[in-house]
Amino acid sequence: MIKQRELVIVGGGPAGMAAALSAYKNGVKDILILERDEYLGGILNQCIHPGFGIDYFKEILTGPEYARRFINKLEQVPRIEVSLRSFVVDLTKDKVLTFLKPGSFNRIKAKALIMATGCREKTREMVHIPGTRPAGIFSAGLAQKMINIEGLIPGKKVVIVGSGDIGLIMARRFVLEGAQVKAVIEIQKQSQGLLRNVVQCVQDYNIPFFCQHKISKIHGNSRVEKVSVVKVDKNFKTVANTEFEIECDSILISVGLIPENELIEMAGVKIDKNTNTPVYKGLNKTSIKGLFVCGNSYKVYDIVDSVSSDSEKAGQSAAEYLKRGKK
């Protein structure tokens, strides 16, 4: 017999934590959070910069501090069970979940399910950068994890491709750690990240910022040696005779995030193939009843404060769904 739980939440980032707390407040008394990492907090643990919580807590917090506020609340509710190092690998339309935990293989059935699995980063392959395939090419979030969690500096002379917030924040982080950031290269006319990050991460440290430019080639055999950069017009077509080279040992790719929704797709939820998000009317809802999605897996949010408040609504919706089932 498969064990049944009232509400299962996949992902213990800000979205999952807010959903759990709100479901509990709205009357759900049996809640299980499955988180694959060793800690709660999700991506916030590696976001050591300030800028979180201004709307939600009316305070400026770092990522780990913002996460801590929710972890503290969770610790006060023993009815919310947190299972760490629990990696969900399969999901069916009847909300049967399979998850791996060191040393065990587990299967449970959820009456209601909230998916809060966050995003993953787009890769070099998704933006088509020609050239060789040497070592030294990282996604910006991976570099962030290496520096802020592992204490490893992935390069000394860095070129950043794309001006999303993660790339901008990493530009400053590399400079503070003693590396040289040679350039930020953005194909659009303007930065794709927040203006405040352009000011405090790029302009503050006089980092060259090339808008309407792209990398035309990556050079290097075993390790990145340099990149060719070229100007583009408003249709992203290369402008002739504008090519120049920048010597570097690493390239960070910061070209956006994609919601992580393969599990619900496996279960048969209707997904928009362009955005990788569920197609259905109403916040956090999907084409399967009682299966909700919140946080960055529902859509890419800029600000964690809105993730928390929208995810609370997911917890509420799940509670309402469970109440209706009991009648």
Partner 1 sequence: MNKTLTCIECPKGCILLVKIQHEKVKEISGNICSKGKAYAVSEIEHPCRMLTSTVCGKGLNLRMIPVKTNAPIPKSDIFKAMKEIKKLKIRKSVCAGDIIVRNFLGLKGINLVVARSCSRI
Ligand X SMILES: Cc1cc2nc3c(=O)[nH]c(=O)nc-3n(C[C@H](O)[C@H](O)[C@H](O)COP(=O)(O)OP(=O)(O)OC[C@H]3O[C@@H](n4cnc5c(N)ncnc54)[C@H](O)[C@@H]3O)c2cc1C
Residues that bind ligand X (CB under 6 A): 10-16, 34-37, 42-44, 47, 51-52, 87-88, 116-118, 141, 144, 165-166, 169, 260, 295-296, 301, 303-305, 307
Contact status: 204 vs partner 1 (CB under 8 A): yes
Contact status: 163 vs partner 1 (CB under 8 A): no
| Cα–Cα distance, 288 to 80 (Å, whole number) | 24
Characterize 65-89 residue by residue with b for buried, 16 or more Cβ atoms within 10 angstroms of its Cβ, and e for exposed. Answer: bbbbbbbeebeeeeebebeeebebe
| Cα–Cα distance, 45 to 62 (Å, whole number) | 9
Contact status: 62 vs partner 1 (CB under 8 A): yes
Q: What is the DSSP string of 45-103?
A: GG--SEEE-TTTTSS-EEHHHHHHHHHHHHHT-TTEEEE-S-EEEEE-TT-EEEEEETT
Residues in 283-322 at the binding interface with partner 1, rule: CB under 8 A: 302-303
Cβ neighbors of 205 (< 8 A, separation 6 or more) are 171, 172, 175, 181
100 binds, among partner 1, ligand X, none (CB under 5 to 8 A by kind): none
36 binds, among ligand X, partner 1, none (CB under 5 to 8 A by kind): ligand X
Q: Least Å distance between CB 78 and partner 1?
A: 20
Q: Least Å distance between CB 283 and partner 1?
A: 21
184: Cα separation from own chain's centroid:
21
Cβ of 163: how many Cβ atoms within 10 Å?
27
Task: State the residue for tokens 């070592």.
Answer: 135
Cβ of 233: how many Cβ atoms within 10 Å?
9
CB 54 within 8 A of CB 306: no
200 binds, among ligand X, partner 1, none (CB under 5 to 8 A by kind): partner 1
Token pair listed for 271: 């997904």
| Cα–Cα distance, 201 to 73 (Å, whole number) | 33
Q: Least Å distance between CB 59 and ligand X?
A: 12
- Select from 82-90, 188-196, 229-237, 253-261 the region that touches partner 1 (CB under 8 A): 188-196
144 binds, among ligand X, partner 1, none (CB under 5 to 8 A by kind): ligand X
150 binds, among ligand X, partner 1, none (CB under 5 to 8 A by kind): partner 1
Q: What is the DSSP string of 224-255?
A: --EEEEEEB-TTSPBPTT--EEEE-SEEEE--
Contact status: 50 vs partner 1 (CB under 8 A): yes
Contact status: 59 vs partner 1 (CB under 8 A): no
Contact status: 134 vs partner 1 (CB under 8 A): no
CB 180 within 8 A of CB 172: no
CB 97 within 8 A of CB 86: no
Nearer Cβ to ligand X, position 51 or 220? 51
Site for partner 1 (CB under 8 A): which residue of 159, 170, 181, 198?
198
Site for partner 1 (CB under 8 A): which residue of 151, 189, 281, 282?
151
Q: Least Å distance between CB 144 and partner 1?
A: 11
Contact status: 266 vs partner 1 (CB under 8 A): no
Contact status: 147 vs partner 1 (CB under 8 A): yes
Site for partner 1 (CB under 8 A): which residue of 5, 36, 49, 111?
49
Residues of this chain that bind partner 1 (CB under 8 A): 45, 48-51, 54, 60, 62, 64-65, 68, 147-151, 176-178, 194-196, 198-200, 204, 302-303
